[in-house]
């Protein structure tokens, strides 16, 4: 989606302060929903934390964690789902439907409950027990399936057409929802005293968060508020890494992953089987930004979650911990003073049962 970006908006953003209590709706001029229809539970305004132990270990003086785990439902998905459900409310849609590995479903359930809207979810049985319980507690109509996320995606895409439920699946199928992800960029810009990070490291399945964050900085540049853009790093689990494989092979297009989906990082276990073009879109942005793509093995994923908790005091879900491990993987490409952001996408209490 594109917006008219008048100079008056640049002046407004330039003069805006960044209080701790801010939310995504501070940036309503850049969102596709009228504020009076916003369905909100305080999403956004997440802290930027210094990774003190990790900084010393890797000799990186400006390494931060954007801690999305303190969102209302414990994951960054509250940003896109708040926007999507608000849009559904504004346009008097009868309900929402989503495919999910867990976090999108939890956020969809919560925001649908807040708005009094019907919510139906198709989720692989491999989703964490904690996330499945949360969906039920929020009152969603939950349908577990034996297949993987791509198969759930296909089911939901067809059912959304038949039932006229608003498809809020967190891929690129819903451009309204993706707009919520841009707000991470705006917040980072303020939190860094109107600087742009050199590197932003994002765990990815299909990649809408990575693209949304990059788009947010592109809009700031279009407004004349910055001259540079960040280099984007996409991180996947080694066992399900179609985008990283295409990057490493130098391919222009991503192919669906046919090697299984067995990984503890369930939140990013997307084989892209039915929509590899989504992965290609993310791959192109990684390359456009002169970033890179990294995959993390199971042993490293599990160990990193423990290390961040025991050394930084931050409990992240396994998928989110990948954003910290990845920085160590690309350390040779970084300068000591580079501003590096790892996006901690979700809370560890949501998949603690997966720890081995």
Per residue in 104-153, pLDDT (tens digit) is: 999 999 999 999 999 999 999 888 899 999 999 999 999 999 988 889 99
Q: Is 177 helix (H, G, I), strand (E, B) or coil?
A: helix
Angle between helices 242-249 and 276-288 (to 10 degrees): 50
User: Is residue 286 scored above 60 in pLDDT?
Assistant: yes
Q: Are strands 231-237 and 199-203 parallel, antiparallel or unpaired?
A: parallel
Work out the angle between the directed axes of helices 129-137 and 103-115 (0-180°, nearest 10).
10
Q: For residue range 205-251, list pLDDT tens digits in order.
A: 999 999 999 999 999 999 999 999 999 999 999 999 999 999 999 99
Residue 353: predicted pLDDT: 86
Backbone torsions φ then ψ of 343, nearest 5 degrees: -90, 110
- The tokens describing 236, both together, are 């996947």
Calculate the alpha carbon distances from 41 to 25, 44, 74, 81 in Å: 11, 9, 12, 11
Burial of 41 (0-12, 13-18, 19+ CB in 10 A): middle
Cα 81 from Cα 177, distance rounded (Å):
6
Q: How confident is the model at residue 356 (pLDDT cuts 50, 70, 90)?
A: low
Structure tokens at 257: 């992953």
Helix (H, G, I), strand (E, B) or coil at 287: helix
Q: Which residue intervals of the chain bear CATH 3.40.50.1100? A: 48-75+177-354, 78-174
SS3 call for 349: helix
- Does the structure show a pLDDT above 80 at 21? no
**Which architecture, in CATH terms, is 48-75+177-354?**
3-Layer(aba) Sandwich (3.40)
Rounded Cα distance between 277 and 270, Å, is 13
Is the pLDDT score of 3 beyond 90?
Answer: no
| Nearest Cα residue to 351 out of 269, 280, 271 | 269
Confidence of residue 22 (pLDDT cuts 50, 70, 90): confident
Percent of the chain with pLDDT over 70: 99
Joined tokens for residue 186: 């705006």
Contact 208, 178 (CB under 8 A): yes
CATH numeric code, 78-174? 3.40.50.1100
């Amino acid at each position: 989606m594109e917006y008219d970006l008048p100079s008056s908006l640049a002046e407004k953003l330039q003069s805006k302060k960044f209080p701790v209590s801010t939310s995504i709706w501070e940036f309503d001029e850049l969102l596709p929903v009228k504020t009076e229809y916003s369905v909100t539970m305080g999403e956004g305004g997440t802290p930027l934390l210094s990774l003190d132990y990790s900084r010393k270990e890797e000799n990186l003086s400006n390494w931060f964690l954007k801690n999305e785990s303190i969102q209302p439902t414990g994951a960054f998905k509250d940003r896109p789902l708040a926007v999507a459900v608000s849009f559904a409310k504004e346009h008097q849609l009868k309900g929402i439907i989503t495919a999910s590995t867990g976090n999108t479903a939890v956020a969809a359930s919560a925001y649908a409950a807040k708005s009094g809207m019907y919510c139906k979810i198709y989720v692989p049985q491999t989703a964490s027990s904690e996330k499945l319980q949360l969906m039920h507690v929020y009152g969603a109509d939950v349908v577990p399936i034996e297949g993987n996320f791509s198969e759930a995606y296909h089911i939901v895409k067809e059912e959304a057409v038949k039932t006229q439920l608003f498809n809020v699946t967190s891929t690129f199928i819903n451009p309204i929802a993706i707009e919520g992800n841009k707000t991470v960029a705006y917040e980072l810009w303020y939190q860094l005293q109107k600087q742009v990070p050199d590197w932003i490291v994002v765990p990815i399945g299909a990649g809408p968060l990575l693209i949304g964050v990059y788009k947010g900085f592109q809009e700031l540049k279009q407004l004349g508020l910055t001259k540079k853009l960040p280099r984007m790093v996409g991180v996947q689990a080694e066992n399900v890494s179609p985008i990283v494989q295409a990057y490493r092979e130098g391919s222009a297009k991503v192919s669906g992953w046919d090697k299984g989906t067995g990984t503890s990082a369930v939140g990013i276990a997307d084989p892209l089987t039915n929509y590899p073009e989504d992965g290609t879109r993310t791959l192109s942005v990684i390359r456009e930004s002169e970033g890179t793509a990294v995959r993390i093995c199971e042993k490293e994923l599990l160990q990193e979650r423990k290390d961040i908790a025991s050394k930084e005091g931050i409990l992240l879900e396994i998928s989110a911990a990948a954003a910290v491990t990845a920085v160590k993987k690309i350390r040779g490409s970084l300068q000591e003073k580079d501003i590096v952001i790892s996006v901690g996408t979700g809370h560890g209490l949501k998949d603690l049962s997966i720890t081995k």
